[in-house]
């Protein structure tokens, strides 16, 4: 029996990039969707927030020198593109998905309406939240915390390239060890980066646990929802 009923999965834009330098890697997005299908088949309700860093970020790369708010709107549009790609791949893989955008773009995807999102989830559809929070100066981590709290998800699952939260950066420090679980307060005291500060504060206030785990390990999403010791659990 799965340990969870409703989850908010945060995928970074990079999660779709695979080994490419940019954009969406076909084999990678298909694998990602197959991981999602495995958990929907367990009867778990899945909402997804996808980032845009594989296409555009408001704070780096092509946006340098741009007006920040304008660049951030471009970043949000990048998340809409990823959401469309993700939902279409889900369609091809036999999953019913709905994309809901935090910014008005009705000819392309429907707007975010909370009761409708809840209805879709209850119907077993996967809901992909596009355009982050809809506001510049925020990130899709914050959108994940916000939507997770709004839909009553039991947990925010942050899929990254690192398999959890470490005592130090494992790429720089070979002695770094992974926390299996850690409290919000300990993570603050030890100055550990779990989500960005706004997202972290929101989860902490709402007592919404976060699990950071690796998307690179096949089957990890399923193991996470089955309650196995995968990645790092950040809890109250
Ligand atoms: N963004 C924003 N507001 C939001 C979410 C995202 O302005 O609520 C913009 C911001 O420019 C960000 C970009 O969209 O750099 C892509 O999102 P993010 O960096 O979170 O993507 P990820 O790193 O997860 O791929």
Q: What is the ipTM, given to two decimal places?
A: 0.98
- Beta-carbon neighbour count of residue 207 at 10 Å? 10
Name, in order, each residue with C-beta under 8 angstroms of 116's C-beta and a sequence gap of 6 or more.
100, 110
In this structure, CATH architecture of domain 6-235: 3-Layer(aba) Sandwich (3.40)
Identify which of 9, 62, 66, 76 to mutate to test ligand 1's pocket (most ligand atoms within 8 A of the CB): 76
Pocket flag, ligand 1, residue 212 (CB < 6 Å):
no
- % of the chain surpassing 90 pLDDT: 92
Distances (CA, A) of 220 to 74, 216, 234: 31, 8, 17
104 backbone φψ class: left, alpha, beta (φ>0; ψ -120 to 50) = beta
Per-residue pLDDT for 98 more than 80?
Answer: yes
Sign (positive or negative) of CA dihedral 186, 189, 191, 193: positive
Pocket flag, ligand 1, residue 209 (CB < 6 Å):
no
Distances (CA, A) of 66 to 58, 134, 222: 8, 19, 41
Instruction: Kindly give the distance from the C-alpha atom of residue 203 to the centroid of ligand 1, in angstroms, as a whole number.
Output: 18
Average pLDDT score over residue span 98-117: 98
What pLDDT is attached to residue 210? Answer: 98
Going by C-alpha positions, the residue among 231, 233, 216 that lies closest to residue 15 is 216
Minimum CA distance residue for ligand 1 atom 22: 51
Going by C-alpha positions, the residue among 142, 159, 161, 158 that lies closest to residue 206 is 142
Query: Within the chain, where are the H helices?
Result: 26-40, 68-92, 114-122, 140-150, 184-189, 197-205, 220-225
Per-residue pLDDT for 79 more than 90?
Answer: yes
What pLDDT is attached to residue 61? Answer: 86
Per-residue pLDDT for 163 more than 80?
Answer: yes
Sign (positive or negative) of CA dihedral 4, 113, 103, 107: positive
The length of the chain, given as a count of residues: 236
What pTM does this model have? 0.97
How many contiguous H segments (helices) and E segments (strands) does the chain have? 7, 9
- Beta-carbon neighbour count of residue 93 at 10 Å? 14
Can you name the residues that pair with 98 across neighbouring β-strands? Answer: 127
Per-residue pLDDT for 1 more than 80?
Answer: no
Distances (CA, A) of 195 to 185, 209, 211, 216, 218: 14, 12, 10, 19, 23
The mean pLDDT value of the chain amounts to 95
Give pLDDT tens digits for 167-184.
Answer: 998 889 999 999 999 999
Known binder of ligand: residue 89?
no
Intra-chain end-to-end CA distance of the chain, in Å: 24
């Amino acid at each position: 029996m799965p340990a969870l009923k409703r989850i908010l999965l945060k995928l970074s834009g990079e999660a779709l990039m695979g080994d490419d330098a940019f954009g969406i890697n076909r084999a990678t997005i298909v694998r990602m969707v197959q991981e999602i299908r495995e958990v929907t088949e367990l009867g778990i309700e899945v909402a997804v927030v996808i980032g845009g860093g594989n296409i555009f970020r408001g704070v780096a790369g092509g946006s340098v020198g741009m007006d920040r708010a304008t660049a951030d709107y471009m970043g949000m549009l990048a998340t809409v593109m990823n959401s469309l790609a993700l939902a279409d791949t889900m369609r091809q893989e036999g999953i019913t998905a709905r994309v809901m955008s935090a910014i008005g773009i009705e000819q392309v995807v429907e707007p975010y309406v909370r009761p409708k999102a809840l209805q879709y989830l209850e119907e077993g559809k996967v809901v992909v939240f596009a355009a982050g929070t809809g506001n510049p100066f925020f990130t899709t981590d914050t959108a994940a915390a916000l939507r997770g709290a709004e839909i009553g998800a039991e947990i925010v699952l942050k899929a990254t390239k690192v398999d959890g939260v470490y005592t130090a950066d494992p790429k720089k420090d070979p002695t770094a060890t992974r926390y299996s679980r850690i409290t919000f307060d300990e993570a603050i005291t030890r100055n550990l980066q779990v989500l960005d500060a706004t997202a972290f504060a929101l989860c902490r206030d709402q007592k919404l646990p976060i699990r950071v785990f690796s998307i690179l390990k096949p089957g990890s999403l399923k193991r996470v929802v089955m309650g196995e010791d995968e990645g790092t659990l950040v809890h109250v």
